[in-house]
Amino acid sequence: MITFEGAAKLYPDGTVAVDHLDMTVETGQTTVFVGPSGSGKTTSLRMINRMVEPTGGAVLIDGEDVRQRDPAVLRRSIGYVIQQAGLFPHRTVRDNIATVPLLLGWRRARARARAEELMELVGLEPSQARRYPHQLSGGQQQRVGVARALAADPPILLMDEPFSAVDPVVRASLQDELLRLQRELHKTIVFVTHDIDEAVRLGDRIAVFRPGGTLAQYDSPERLLAEPSDSFVESFVGYDRGVRRLSFFPASGLSPRQDVVFDEGTSAGAAADALGGEPWALVVTGDRMPLGWASATRLAGADTPLGALELVPYGHTFAVDTDSLRAALDAAVLSPAGRAVGVDADGRVVGVVSQDDLGTALWSVTE
Ligand SMILES: Nc1ncnc2c1ncn2[C@@H]1O[C@H](COP(=O)(O)OP(=O)(O)OP(=O)(O)O)[C@@H](O)[C@H]1O
Ligand SMILES: [Mg+2]
């Protein structure tokens, strides 16, 4: 457990970087610091490993003031990852990762073996061990940075905008990796970001910092999105927080319709009759894989099987058992038919959900 007790940082030029911070970071959880530029996130983070000394109050780790600890020893027990990875340019990937174990006096062979184990853990190829940082992509460098921070198996990991410099696709995969690692390792992670989506995705708890270095709200992601404490937090989490919040509700609560789903062998006329007033039929194969949408206006009176018609693409599907309402809504909004196709784990169609059905479901869960 990391405790900030009235922690403050006043720089000699009069800047109040952090103003009387009181908060507790729980052991084994991911706590995310978000907030606008200059709101004291990095300063607060660095108070934990004594890269910044508070000018007021204290920071405690498991009840002990960090000032009681030798800074060098303390830092070796706390992993630290920054933007652009901060790797040593003239050391190979393997030696970068082995840095702290070597400082701790491990034998070279053991440190290298540990480095190789960590490369696998963070998804790097063994063949990259002898490369230098400039021979890696930005995303790979970040992975090396994470591996290096984990090398001595520290209980605490501090991460300051570690994924900010990579493109959105790589960033999403790094986030996935971190979530997977954390399920395995249960570190106490403090993660700084500007990105509220990243915060909601990674955080067990989120601390929103306000300009002037004070805490505006400290809550679970669900509560932060449901009940921002004031207009500053509300604008920071974004006015689309309603949609974001839907990622916490499972799509399994929906009842997808099956009466608008037809086998490709069905005749168009029969489908038109069965549709009643419904505007779209979803056409599927014999084993219920989706093929596309047929508009009701094109079906009436036709004899051809549905599979012979030119169909409108069904768009992307959502997994009924595992996806969230946000995924279902996204699929419906992007679908040319305004309807989302729900599938099972094998990609077979379970049923169809219209935007209206979704609207009703959203009301009931977010009330
Ligand atoms: N060494 C320093 N001397 C004077 N002021 C400083 C120093 N380091 C940081 N500051 C100021 O302290 C405030 C908080 O800085 P900090 O780096 O903690 O913000 P941040 O929330 O991490 O911002 P960003 O999102 O831009 O990284 C800023 O106003 C910054 O200019
Ligand atoms: Mg910062």
- Kindly identify the ligand whose nearest atom is closest to the C-alpha of 51: 1
Same-domain pairing of 51 and 167: yes
Question: What gap in Å lies between CA 142 and CA 122, rounded to an integer?
Answer: 10
Mean pLDDT on 123-137: 90
The residue whose C-alpha atom lies closest to atom 16 belonging to ligand 1 is 40
Same-domain pairing of 237 and 271: no
Q: How far is the CA of 264 from the centre of ligand 1 (A)?
A: 62
Question: Is residue 76 predicted with pLDDT exceeding 70?
Answer: yes
Paired tokens of 80: 């630290």
Query: 26: domain CATH number?
Result: 3.40.50.300
* Cα angle: 226, vertex 228, 234; to 5 degrees: 110
CB 17 near ligand 1, within 6 Å:
yes
Percent of the chain exceeding pLDDT 90 equals 60
Question: Is residue 362 predicted with pLDDT exceeding 80?
Answer: no
User: Which residues lie at CB < 5 A from ion ligand 2?
Assistant: 42
Contacts 24+ apart (CB under 8 A), 164-173: 164/83, 164/193, 164/194, 164/195, 165/83, 165/84, 165/138, 166/138, 166/139, 166/142, 167/138, 170/137, 170/138, 170/139, 171/139, 171/198, 173/139
| Torsion of the alpha carbons at 221, 168, 247 and 313, rounded to the nearest 10 | 170
DSSP three-state, residue 211:
coil
Residue 305 is given by DSSP the state B
Residue at which a domain ends, from 228, 248, 268:
248
Mean pLDDT on 259-284: 92
Q: What is the pLDDT of residues 168-214, one digit of tens each?
A: 778 888 898 899 889 988 999 999 998 888 999 999 999 999 999 99
296-323: b (≥16 Cβ within 10 Å) or e: beebeebeebbbebebbebbebbbbeeb
Mean pLDDT on 251-257: 91
Question: Is residue 84 predicted with pLDDT exceeding 80?
Answer: no
Same-domain pairing of 243 and 308: no
Structural domain boundaries, residue 295: 251-366
Confidence of residue 266 (pLDDT cuts 50, 70, 90): very high
Q: What is the pLDDT of residues 21-69, one digit of tens each?
A: 999 999 999 999 999 889 999 999 999 999 999 999 999 999 999 999 9
Same-domain pairing of 217 and 179: yes
Residue at which a domain ends, from 207, 231, 248:
248
**What pLDDT score was predicted for residue 152?**
83
**What pLDDT score was predicted for residue 90?**
93
Phi/psi for 268 (5° steps) reads: -55, -40
Question: Is residue 110 predicted with pLDDT exceeding 70?
Answer: yes
Residue pair 11/57 in contact (Cβ under 8 Å)? The answer is no
- Kindly identify the ligand whose nearest atom is closest to the C-alpha of 209: 1
Same-domain pairing of 224 and 346: no
**What pLDDT score was predicted for residue 157?**
94
Same-domain pairing of 72 and 171: yes
Residue at which a domain ends, from 233, 248, 263:
248
- Kindly identify the ligand whose nearest atom is closest to the C-alpha of 39: 1
Query: 348: domain CATH number?
Result: 3.10.580.10
Higher-confidence residue of 153 and 263: namely 263
Residue to probe by mutation, ligand 1, list 11, 34, 215, most atoms within 8 Å of CB: 11
Same-domain pairing of 32 and 136: yes
Question: Is residue 320 predicted with pLDDT exceeding 90?
Answer: yes
What domain count does the chain have?
Answer: 2
Same-domain pairing of 232 and 322: no
Same-domain pairing of 39 and 119: yes
Q: Which residue has the tokens 């014999």?
A: 286
Same-domain pairing of 236 and 91: yes
Same-domain pairing of 59 and 189: yes
Regarding pTM above 0.85, the answer is no
Same-domain pairing of 277 and 208: no
In angstroms, how far is CA 25 from the centroid of its own chain?
19
CA atoms 303, 307, 311, 315: torsion sign: positive
Question: Is residue 100 predicted with pLDDT exceeding 90?
Answer: no
